[in-house]
Amino acid sequence: MPHILIATDIFGYTKATEAFKYRLEFICEAVHIIDPYDAKQTDFQNEDEAYEAFNRLCGLENYAKMCMKALDAHANETLILIGFSMGASAFWNVLAGRKSANVKSFFGFYSSQIRHFLDAKPRVPCTLIFPTLEKHFDVDDVITELAKQENITCVKTEYLHGFMNPSSIHYNAKGYAEYCEWIEEKIKAV
């Protein structure tokens, strides 16, 4: 059975992250959470506050280093990686050009920063789940570019960035339920 590494979004380790972790523990050996605030539960009031804290306390480059450290710590285990927003971007950067025999799949939800790293060449199977639109870039253009690469599958949802996070203004309970079931099926198939 695989171990799962989850890299959170800018909200970090929350009760919702914990609930998602417990849900996945029923179908895998262990679930480990990586978050930009060293497992300190946060209580941000909104995305702006969380984004400011993320940039001040961590940043994408440091978050990628945290993800790399976690990958190295679990190098002897079969892994499935799941990232949300900045967590997905951090994993994407770590996987660029890296062939990890123990990483069986990466699932990245609404990684808006990926648009800056389209030339990354992950050598593990990647499924990238995009929102229906993004404020700062054309989702379809990014999907078209990424689809040219081997090992990459892109899924465009009908939901908005943050639909899996109850702390986000774009949280969508239907989308959350749908993609929890979807990710569970994908994990079972690995």
Query: How is domain 3-189 classified at the CATH fold level?
Result: Rossmann fold (3.40.50)
pTM of the model: 0.95
Full DSSP string of 64-104: HHHHHHHHHHTTTS-EEEEEETHHHHHHHHHHBT---TTEE
Per-residue pLDDT reduced to its tens digit, 99-152: 777 899 999 999 999 999 998 889 899 999 999 999 999 999 999 999 999 889
One-letter amino acid at 68 equals M
- The band of 170, judged by pLDDT with boundaries at 50, 70 and 90, is very high
Comparing CA positions, the residue from 129, 19, 5 lying closest to residue 79 is: 5
Mapped onto helix, strand or coil, the DSSP state of residue 33 is: strand
One-letter amino acid at 151 equals N
Q: Among 35-44, 87-96, 154-163, which is the least confidently predicted range?
A: 35-44
Length of the chain: 190
Q: Is the pLDDT of residue 97 over 90?
A: no
Comparing CA positions, the residue from 164, 170, 130 lying closest to residue 146 is: 130
> Where are the domains positioned within the chain?
3-189
Predicted pLDDT of residue 132: 97
User: In this structure, what is the dihedral angle of CA atoms 67, 72, 75, 80, given to the nearest 10 degrees?
Assistant: 0
Name the residue with higher pLDDT: 128 or 29. 128
Q: Which residues pair with 122 in a beta bridge?
A: 96
